[in-house]
Amino acid sequence: MKRIWRHRAAVSTGIAIGLLLALVTLLAYLDGGSAGSFIHFYYIPIVLASYLLGDLGGIVAAFAAALLAALLPLQGSTPQPFKDILIRGVLFYFIGLMTARLFAKLEERREDAASLLEVSRSVNASLRVTEVLRTITETAVKITAAKASSIRLLNRTRDELTPAASYGLSLDYLAKGPVRLAQSPLDQEAVAGRTVVILDITRDPRFHYREEARAEGLVSLLTLPLRRGEDAFGVLRVYSGSRHQWSGRERRLLQAFADQAAIAIHNARLHEDLRRSYWETVNALARAIEAKDPHTLGHSERVTDYTLQLGRALNLSPDKMEILRFAATLHDVGKIGLSDRSLARMGHLSMNDEVLVRMHPLIGISILQPVEFLAPVLDAVRYHHERWDGNGYPEGLAAEDIPLSARILGVANLYDTLRTASPGRPGLSEQEAPQALRRAAGKELDPSLVPVFLRALGYDSPFRTPAQPASAPPRARDT
């Protein structure tokens, strides 16, 4: 359909150019023929045709203009000299050709700039290294119409390049593993900061896996360094399925892309290092809180494991799984404000202690809120003690008003609480805990999540309710 519309647009444009040529011819004739000023107006349809229809359109318009101009008399009825006709025809042709080439070059530069802008947006849209690398390889193939692309990152300790991401390559090809720099002259040149072009990698001794490349259908290769400043930390490889002489434009475009990609990778690594540092700090804090009560030691780790099992059973996205992982580990961080007696739940708690126990989700929120990247976990931490029937705390939310992440965390948290012994209450067995969890469904817990959770743990005979069959996915306000 698009091709038909483009064809129709080209025909309409050609007709309009033809009419414009006829109008210029009429005006030139009325102005006294080829000696008049209107003869110069032929440049207008030539330039327009070059811009709108490319080389062919510009050349056709130039020949048409030269032919029409030759039909005009010089003065009144005096014929034009052949020399004037020839010079004007050559001039029109040259103007049409050069204008078309200039517009084509400008369009090429515009497309390059648009590609780089799109690449920049896509690789900087995520701060996760794995997603950035995957986007880089996919975009490198699309902007060059290549067959495949891969990224290898340098492990300086082992002096080898390890596969980090790829697009268009089979699992069999990727199974060849890392490449030692000492065995790959090609990668030695790339790590040294040079762009390397190989016309046929199945025959070039610099390429280490020639037989594997032949089986994969790879022929030509462009290898570019990924570098931060003068320091290369990996290579970007772009493969063609046939012999391909990479043009200067393709090399410049991919090198600019590789430089942008290197910056994005560096930023993503810094971001992940920051996340890891904060994670380790808060995780240590959570362990310190649990250490105050030996009955709860390891609770956060177990709840995290149960939460992730339920998340996988619900087929949640990697981003939502990451939110659940952080939320489950940090859900009790607010207990830092509780006394040892309150943590242990020993004896009858005073009103003040009971208030503090119910306040610990809000205390946790106040600890986590200053950290911007933890914003997605706040709902789960705040509402993990809310109940399906609305009798929970701290806000008394009910049913689907409770965010899905908090409902998932609530199931995992209750299961571990049931299985773990505490003062005055032994932990339930593997046979007793599922029954207790089923009894809590529809009261304390989301009834649609309980059977999914029990199946994820390997229990048979999933719980069902007439109102909410086990096969129905849970709905959520947000995660």
Distances (CA, A) of 45 to 107, 207, 418: 19, 53, 84
The answer to whether 221 and 210 have CB atoms below 8 angstroms apart is: no
Run of H or E including 220: strand 220-228
pLDDT at residue number 406 = 93
pLDDT at residue number 474 = 41
Cβ neighbours of residue 162 closer than 8 Å, sequence gap 6 or more:
152, 153, 154, 155, 178
First to last CA, the chain: 41
Q: How far apart are CA 402 and CA 453, in angstroms?
A: 18
> What pairs with residue 150 in β-bridges?
166, 237
Ordered strands of the 220-228 beta sheet: 179-180, 160-167, 148-155, 231-240, 220-228, 196-198
Q: How far apart are CA 219 and CA 230, in angstroms?
A: 30
Longest distance between any two alpha carbons in the chain, whole Å:
121
For each of the domains in the chain, give its residue range(s) and CATH number, in order of start. 2-120 (no CATH), 129-267 (3.30.450.40), 292-456 (1.10.3210.10)
399 sits in the region (left: phi over 0; alpha: psi -120 to 50; else beta) called: left
Rounded to the nearest 5 degrees, what angle is found at the Cα of 116, between the Cα atoms of 110 and 122?
A: 135
Q: Tell me how many helices (H) and strands (E) the chain has.
A: 16, 6
Closest CA to 236 of 111, 119, 390: 119
Token pair in block for residue 97: 């050709």
Token pair in block for residue 193: 């900061």
User: 11-23: buried (b, 16+ CB within 10 Å) or exposed (e) per residue?
Assistant: eebbeebeebbee
Rounded to the nearest 5 degrees, what angle is found at the Cα of 427, between the Cα atoms of 424 and 428?
A: 130
Question: pLDDT (tens digit, 0 to 9) for every residue of the chain, 479 residues total?
Answer: 556 666 677 777 778 878 887 887 777 777 666 666 677 777 778 787 777 777 677 777 777 777 777 777 655 566 666 666 666 667 776 777 777 777 666 666 666 666 666 666 666 666 667 777 787 888 888 777 789 988 888 887 778 888 888 888 888 888 777 788 777 888 888 888 888 888 888 888 888 788 888 888 999 988 888 887 777 888 888 999 888 887 777 777 777 777 777 777 777 778 778 777 877 877 777 777 767 666 667 888 889 999 999 999 999 988 899 889 889 988 888 877 665 555 555 445 555 556 667 788 888 888 888 878 788 999 999 999 999 999 988 888 999 999 999 999 999 999 998 888 766 667 788 888 888 889 999 999 999 999 999 999 888 544 443 333 333 334 333 33
pLDDT at residue number 378 = 92
